[in-house]
Amino acid sequence: MPPHILGLHHVTAIVGDPQENVDFYAGLLGLRLVKTTVNFDDPHTYHFYFGDELGHPGTLITFFPWPTGRRGARGAGQVSAFAFAVPATSLGYWQARLAAAGVRYGGPETRFGRPTLSFYDPAGLLVELVADQDDLAPAVWADSPVPIEHAIRRIAGITLTVPQPGPTAALLTETLGFRHVGSAGSHERYEVGEGAARTAVDVVGRPDVPRGRFGVGTVHHVAWRVADDAQELAWRQTLIERGYEVTPVRDRSYFRSIYFNEPGGVIFELATDGPGFAIDEVADELGTHLMLPGWLEPRRAEIAAALPLFRLPTEEIRD
C-alpha cells in the first residue's frame, strides 16, 4: 500500500507551570490527562498528554512544561494556533464557561463556514473552539468536568504561519496527500483524513514577520497519523527520496515517530497509531502515575525528585 496520512496525531507545545497547564486543559477545557511521563530527550521535564477517554490519536494535545524556561517568540515557521472541535450547539456553553473563568475570548467568528471562538491559554498559546457539524467523537471522557453534550471532540485543525506559503502547500498536496478546499482572507485551507479523522490545516504566508523562536508559549511540533511501522518506514523512504532530512525511527513507547522540517520551518512528525497509552496503565488509571520508559526506570528516584508536584482536578499524581 502506498504511504498514507490518516489525519492528525497530536500537537506538542511548550508551556510554563505544570499545575497551571493541568488546571486549564483538564479542569477548564475538560480533557483527560491520559499520560504523565517525561520528555524522553530531557527527562527532567514532564511530558503531559491530554485527549479523550483513551487518548485516541487526533484528540491529543501534549505539553512540555518548563517552569523556569524562557519565553518563546511567535513568528513565521510555527504552528500559530490549534483548534478543538466542539458540538455545533455548544458555543454558547463555552462562551459562558470561559467568561466565568475570566478567560477573554474573541468571536464567534465564522471561518470556512464554521463559527469559531479564539482565546489564549495561560502560557500564551492561541486556542480555538470550532463548531463541528459532524459531531464525531471516538470516546468522550465520561468523568470530564464538562458535560458530555458539550465536550471537546477532537483537534479540528491547526494554522501554520510560514514565510512563503507555496513550498508548504506543495508538500501538503503533492507529497502528503492533503487536498486544497478553499481560501478565506490570508488563510489557505487544506484537509486530510475522513470523518472523525478529518483535519484542516490553514497555511498563512507572512514574509513580513521574523522567524519564531522556541520557548514557553509556542508550539514545538505537529504530528500526523500513520497506521503502523510499515507505513512509517515507507514514508521515511519517500521523504528522503524527495530531499528531506528525516530522523531515524524513534520509539516513544506509545507510538513510533520520525521527524523532519517542512519547507516553512515547522517540525512535522509522523507517528504510528499504536501501541497506545494502555500498554503500561489500566484504562481507569490513565495519567495518574508517573510513567517512564524502561531505559529511564533505573533513574526513577532522581527524575521524580526533580519534577514539581501537581494535582489533577480530582486526585494527586502518584509515583
Looking at residues 122-138, what average pLDDT do you find? 85
Question: What are the C-alpha distances in Å from 308 to residues 44, 70, 210, 222?
Answer: 10, 18, 34, 26
CATH code for position 145: 3.10.180.10
Evaluate if residue 33 carries a pLDDT over 90. yes
Backbone angles phi, psi at 50, to 5 degrees: -115, 145
Other CB atoms within 10 Å distance of the CB of residue 248 = 8
Read off the pLDDT band of 1 (50, 70, 90): low
Rounded to an integer, what distance in angstroms lies between the CA atom of residue 16 and that of residue 263? 28
Q: Which is nearest to 95 in space by CA: 111, 75, 73, 118?
A: 118
Q: Is 316 within a domain? A: no
Residue whose C-alpha cell reads 500526523 in the numeric block: 224
Residue 311 falls inside a structural domain: no
Cα angle vertex 127, ends 51, 22, to 5°?
Answer: 45
318: left (phi over 0), alpha (psi -120 to 50) or beta: beta
Give percent of the chain with pLDDT exceeding 70: 96
Residue 319 confidence (pLDDT): 40
- Look at residue 141 and tell me if it is in a domain: yes
Name the residue among 106, 149, 112 with its Cα closest to residue 128: 106
Please tell me whether the peptide bond between 163 and the residue prior to it is cis, using omega within 30 degrees of 0.
Answer: no
DSSP 132-172: ESS---S---TT-SS-GGG---EEEEEEEEES-HHHHHHII
Number of domains the chain is built from? 1
Mind listing the pLDDT tens digit for each residue in 181-232? 999 999 999 999 988 889 999 999 999 999 999 999 999 999 999 999 999 9
Average the pLDDT over 257-276 and give the result: 98
Q: For the residues 254-271, what does the mean pLDDT come to?
A: 98
- C-alpha cell, 261: 522540517
Q: Could you tell me if residue 47 is inside a domain?
A: yes
In total, the chain counts a number of residues equal to 319
Report pLDDT for 132.
Answer: 87
Answer whether residue 137 shows pLDDT above 90.
no
Q: Residue 144: its pLDDT value, please?
A: 93
Give me the residues paired with residue 184 across strands.
187
Residue 312 lies in a domain: no
Domain hosting residue 209, numbered range: 7-306
Please say whether the beta carbons of 44 and 307 come within 8 A. yes
138 pLDDT above the threshold of 80:
no
